[in-house]
Amino acid sequence: MKRNIPLILAFLAGLLMIASEFIPHRPFSNMVETLEDWFMIIAGFSIVLGLASLLQMNYQKISTKAENWGYHLSCVIAFALIVIMGALWGMEDQPGLLGQGEKIVSWLGKKPFDYTYDNALVPLSATMFSLLAFFIASAAYRAFIIRTFESNLLMISAVIVILGRTGFGTMLTSWIPESYRIWQLPVLADFIMEYPNTAAQRAILISASLGIIGSSLRIILGIERSYLGGDK
């Protein structure tokens, strides 16, 4: 019974969502929005679960003085600080328990919550994102080492695309006459991106879409139930 009710609900919800894709009439036309609202409400409740998990995990590490427990302490302190700042002075136009906090806003220029968000979270996120530049370089180096026929092809096409996207590439092959312009690096780079690359991407997309249909059908029919925790 514990397993059957979710399976029946998944079956009904799946059928309704498929119907709403093809029927523009009420009640099907607004079914997706309604179910999305339901999802948001449930997700709102589950935030409490997430926060409880976060605090429980960090508390355990701190209380047992596990290795690197200082990191966990700083996480809890940051969490508490941002909650207190948001509760006391609010965020953006929303007032907090102490109102809009005009005094502190005149000192910081923003509400403490917004100040911390803009000056701590945003730069930290940007720092993580910027790591990509270095990782792309090291990954590209490994990918372009010529070991096999395939990596050779990859290397050649990568060089063409990289050069074709720069002014240097244009300069290198600008002498090629118009009747042979396909051999100009920018044109060749566009060709690689537009035809072989798009064809490969579409092949992956088509097969993934078929996989999604099959997976969804297995879930709707209750054949695939391991995401619920058990098989039978």
Partner 1 sequence: MKRILTILFILSTLTSLLADGAPLFTAKDRPYDKGDAIILEWKLPATIDSLQIQKADSLEVYQPLFIPLEGETSFVDQDLSYDTRYKYRLLALGSADGDSLLLSASAMTKQNWFYMDKLAYLLMLIILSAAIIYYILAAKRGKEFFIRRISGLDSMEEAIGRATEKGKPILFVPGVAELGDIQTLSSLSILSQLAYKAAEYNTEIIVPCRFSMVLSAAREVVEEAYLKAGRSDAFREENIFYLTDDQFGFVAGIDGIIVREEPAANFFLGSFYAESLILAETGLSTGAIQTAGTANAHQLPFFVVSCDYTLIGEELFAASAYLSRDAEQVGSLKGHDFGKLLVIILIIVGVALEIAGISWLKTFLMGAGS
The residue ranges that bind partner 1 (CB under 8 A) are 18, 21-26, 29, 39, 42-43, 46-51, 53-54, 56-57, 60, 67-68, 71, 121, 124-126, 128-129, 131-132, 135-136, 138-140, 142-143, 201, 204-208, 210-219, 221, 223-224, 226-231
Lookup: tokens for 76: 């809890």
Q: Which is nearer to partner 1, 119 or 125 (CB)?
A: 125
Lookup: tokens for 28: 């099907």
Q: Which DSSP string do the residues of 99-147 spell out, in sequence order?
A: BT-HHHHHHHSS-HHHHHIIIIIHHHHHHHHHHHHHHHHHHHHHHHS--
Q: State the minimum distance, in angstroms, from the CB of residue 104 to partner 1.
A: 24
Q: State the minimum distance, in angstroms, from the CB of residue 119 to partner 1.
A: 15
Maximal CA-CA distance, the chain: 76
Q: How far apart are CA 228 and CA 225, in angstroms?
A: 6
Of the candidates 158, 211, 168, the one whose C-alpha atom is nearest the C-alpha of residue 189 is 158
Q: How far apart are CA 13 and CA 5, in angstroms?
A: 12
Q: Which residues of 180-189 are buried (b: 16+ CB within 10 A; e: fewer)?
A: eeeebbbbbb
- Left (φ > 0), alpha (ψ -120 to 50) or beta: where does 90 sit? left
Q: State the minimum distance, in angstroms, from the CB of residue 96 to partner 1.
A: 21
Q: Which is nearer to partner 1, 177 or 230 (CB)?
A: 230
What is the chain's length?
A: 232
Q: State the minimum distance, in angstroms, from the CB of residue 200 to partner 1.
A: 8
Q: Which is nearer to partner 1, 47 or 178 (CB)?
A: 47
Q: State the minimum distance, in angstroms, from the CB of residue 212 to partner 1.
A: 5
Q: Which is nearer to partner 1, 71 or 168 (CB)?
A: 71
Q: Which is nearer to partner 1, 158 or 176 (CB)?
A: 158
Q: Which DSSP string do the residues of 175-190 spell out, in sequence order?
A: TS-GGGGGGSHHHHHH
DSSP state for residue 224 in the 8-state scheme:
-
Q: State the minimum distance, in angstroms, from the CB of residue 29 to partner 1.
A: 4
Q: State the minimum distance, in angstroms, from the CB of residue 74 to partner 1.
A: 12
Q: Which is nearer to partner 1, 98 or 140 (CB)?
A: 140
Q: Which is nearer to partner 1, 106 or 142 (CB)?
A: 142
